[in-house]
């Protein structure tokens, strides 16, 4: 028998240091996306061991819990969003190295 997909997802999420949360009109409605995000957000809140980086792919209702987190905006398909993600990851790594 094969491995459980739920166990594989859980293992991937538990070992992640960063999570890109892809936001679209469809994804914000999907139960699995909400579950994965909720699980990761709880890890971030309890141990600060993972960073959530929202990525807005199209106009949609952004979950209220994300309202204070800066997101990368890919709606215009320009390089700015790539720079936003890169900056967020580098900033996190610099803060982690400094003990912030």
Tens-place pLDDT, residues 30-41: 888 888 778 777
Residues 41 and 44: their CA atoms lie apart, in Å, by 5
Tens-place pLDDT, residues 32-76: 888 877 877 777 777 777 788 888 999 998 888 887 888 888 888
Tens-place pLDDT, residues 3-19: 777 788 777 777 778 88
In the chain, where are the structural domains located? Answer: 5-98
Adjacency order of strands within the sheet including 18-23: 18-23, 51-56, 72-73
Looking at the domain covering 5-98, what would its CATH class be?
Answer: alpha beta
How far, in Å, are 3, 10, 99 from residue 21 at the CA level?
25, 16, 25
Phi, psi of 60 (to 5 degrees): -165, 175
């Amino acid at each position: 028998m094969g491995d459980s997909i739920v166990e594989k997802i859980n293992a991937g999420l538990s070992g992640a240091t960063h999570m890109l949360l892809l936001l679209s009109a469809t994804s914000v409605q999907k139960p699995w996306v909400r579950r994965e995000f909720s699980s990761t957000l709880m890890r971030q809140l309890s141990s600060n061991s993972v960073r959530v980086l929202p990525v807005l792919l199209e106009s949609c209702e952004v979950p209220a819990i994300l309202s204070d987190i800066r997101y990368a905006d890919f709606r215009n398909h320009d390089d700015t969003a790539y720079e936003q993600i890169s900056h967020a990851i580098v900033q996190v790594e610099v803060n982690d190295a400094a003990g912030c």
